[in-house]
Chains A and B, each alone.
Chain A
Amino acid sequence: MSGYTAHKGEYLNQAMVDVARIAKITRQLYERQQFAYLLVDHNWSVIEASANLENYGFGDVRVGDDAREAIDFLVGLDSHSTLDLPIVLSPSQNPVHIVLLPEDESLTVVLMDASRDYEQQQLVQQKANENELLLAQQRQLMADLEQTQAALVTKNTELREASRLQSSFLSGVSHEFRTPLAALLGYVDVLGERLLSQSQEESEEQLKVIRRSGRHLLSLVENLLDHGKFDAGEVVLNPQAIDLQGICDEVHAMLHQGAASKQIALEFDTTPTPLPSCLIDDSRLRQIMLNIIGNAIKFTDEGKVQVIAQCADEQFSLRIRDTGMGISKDDMQNVMRPFWQAPKNGKVGTGLGLTITERIVEMMGGQLKIDSELGVGTTVDITIPAPLIELDQPDINSNRAEHIGARRYLLAEDDPDIAALLKLLLVEQGAEVTHVENGQQAIEIAEREEFDVILMDLQMPVLDGYDATKSLRDRGDKTPVLVMTASAIEADRTRAEEVGCDGYLIKPVAVHEVLSLADELLQNQSAV
């Protein structure tokens, strides 16, 4: 107790010195205007404000006012809590360091100049943030680059796959050609050697193989040509009045043998029976049916292939159901791709049949759907718009000309080799042939003389076949014009039809083709 008393004066003295020193420092700071202060009660009513508060932009703070009215940054703050706000910028003011120091009855708000801190931090932080942004940009660029690279790799893989498909197609198709060709040539040799020695049945059997092989090759080539034509946009539909039942019967007859030889049943079920006549491109419809039903037979080793053909509401629908090997889910995505063939199915082909069929069906405004289960079978549903029509059935045999060779032909052909041979072959069939070397001569002679049929080459000097035909038609000459050309391009055919040609033959032409087509044209003409 006495110790405390003894030292009391000393402690007080020391405290006084401290307070005085703090007061001095504070005054010095204040005098140098390095801080300002505001004293408020807990309801923000101003008790006291340092005179230099206006240097901080708060000149109109008066005792008794609500401090929050004059000073925005106080809005929302708690007058009972200590708060340190190191750098605060208000519009048109220097950065300040604000500290809230609450006491029992009041709150002191101290404002200190923070310009130096602000400037230093601004420099460092600006640089750091800009660096980081650059890094982020760089990362983004790298990611973009990687993405582009990945896309290129994918594209490359796709291209390689396409190229692989083409190659495997080439080897597949070569194989496909070789087998029937070998059979064909082999039997031709056999026939040639034994023509005299073997029985007629044997010869007929060998002829059948030759014919079958030939047809197969032909269908392959046709598929290939069709695919090319689709790619070149050269396929045009040619809807005609056809007898649906007739087509179905015909297709059945064509495929029945193939199914029987594999000991599977091929059932045709048509509703109504007979199916009506309607407007459809018959050759394309036949192609669709042969492709799909042919495939079903090809991929079915036991059981049956069922074809349900219905015609209702001007729609022709076909359902082809088989009990074959079926298609796996993975393969299903590929079946429509050109040149694709199921791996290891043991069947060969061009891988084009289905692609072409789908494109034809689409072109006809129809739909093709495949539903399949591996090991159970496949069902293909096809619907094609089929406008109904009345079909007259003229007896085409009644008017058949008796002497199909005895006709007068005008042959317009500039190639002497072709002209000489064709003329000779026609004459040998009993025809009369007048040969001219260009379209102009053809027009001139057609004005003077009458012909049954004009055989017109398309590419000729002076006046070509198109212009010559057009000119003939313009003059009212209705003589059937049968065009012969070495071009297999559909556009040429279309153009020829537009100028008024009646028939179209692709060179090399066989004389019997000329004769039968000429005959058909004349039949049609006399029927009109």
Chain B
Amino acid sequence: MQKRKICMVGDFAVGKTSLTQRFVNNSFSEKYLTTIGVKIDNVVVDDTKLIIWDVAGRDSLSPINTNYLSGAAGIVMVADGTRPETVESLHTLAEMVVEKIGQVPCVVAINKYDHNAFKLDDEQQNKLTSQGWDIFKTSALTGDKVPELFQVLNNAIGAVTSVGEEA
């Protein structure tokens, strides 16, 4: 079976692990447990095994260790819709990703859509879509838009590799 490495990146506590667990195990935990290093999981989508690298979030003290991104075929960038600064962070994260591994397919999850403090104004949204990213307002709690997020990324990777060579 074909295997693809994808990475979850974003600021700390935006819900990268929750989105991954929702997608892989269809489960959700209210408890916040910060990820250290990287957590690797896998799930099969359309006869492709996605190896998901759930990379520890960036915080004010520690940057993301970009070594974990090596060889990723696609990136899920995650922000927290209740913390606007995490949406702003996506742009610098994207630069960091490109610097490390070059241009790869990328989707954006603005998470915690179920939360009543969720806010994504037009200006922010336009700035994200102008990068050519697909934006998903996700909820790991309800599962809303989570399968779509990974499906679209997988399709995008498929489209890129079918033109080039499969790893």
Contacts and interface: CB of A to CB of B under 8 A. Distances in A.
Interface of A: 68, 72-73, 75-78, 81, 83-91, 95, 114, 118, 121-122, 125-126, 128-130, 132-133, 136, 140
Given A86-B37, A87-B36, A132 B70 contact: no
8 contacts: A72-B42, A76-B71, A114-B37, A118-B36, A118-B37, A121-B37, A125-B56, A140-B117
Interface stretch (B57-65, B87-95, B120-128, B136-144): B57-65
B3 A75 contact: yes
Contact of B40 (A89, A121, A128): A89
B155 interface: no
A130 B4 CA distance: 33
Interface residues of B, number: 33
Where chain B touches its partner, the secondary structure class is: loop
Contact of B12 (A77, A122, A132): A132
B4 to A, nearest CB: 7
B41 interface: yes
B140 to A, nearest CB: 16
A130 B32 contact: yes
B101 to A, nearest CB: 9
A140 B84 CA distance: 11
A68 B3 contact: yes
Interface string B23-45: 00000000011101111111000
A77 B70 contact: yes
A89 B37 contact: yes
A130 B34 CA distance: 9
Given A130-B32, A132-B60, A136-B83, A75 B37 contact: no
B42 A122 contact: no
B167 interface: yes
A126 B61 CA distance: 12
Nearest to A140: B117
A76 B37 contact: no
B72 interface: yes
Nearest to B3: A75
Contacts of B13: 129, 133
A140 B116 CA distance: 13
Contact of B38 (A78, A88, A130): A88
A139 to B, nearest CB: 10
A58 to B, nearest CB: 13
A84 B72 CA distance: 16
B5, B37, B39 — most chain A CB neighbours (10 Å):
B37
B68 interface: yes
Contacts of B34: 122, 125-126, 129
Contacts of A121: 36-37
A72 B40 contact: yes
Contacts of A68: 3
B162 interface: no
A95 B36 CA distance: 9
A390 to B, nearest CB: 58
Nearest to A100: B70
B95 to A, nearest CB: 21
Contact of A75 (B68, B71, B117): B71
A85 B57 CA distance: 15
Given A129-B12, A133-B13, A83 B67 contact: yes
Nearest to A120: B36
Contacts of A130: 32
A81 B101 CA distance: 13
B78 to A, nearest CB: 15
Contacts of B68: 85
B164 to A, nearest CB: 14
A130 B32 CA distance: 8
The 7 tightest CB contacts between A and B, nearest first, are A87-B37, A76-B71, A76-B5, A75-B3, A89-B39, A77-B71, A129-B34
Contacts of B5: 75-76
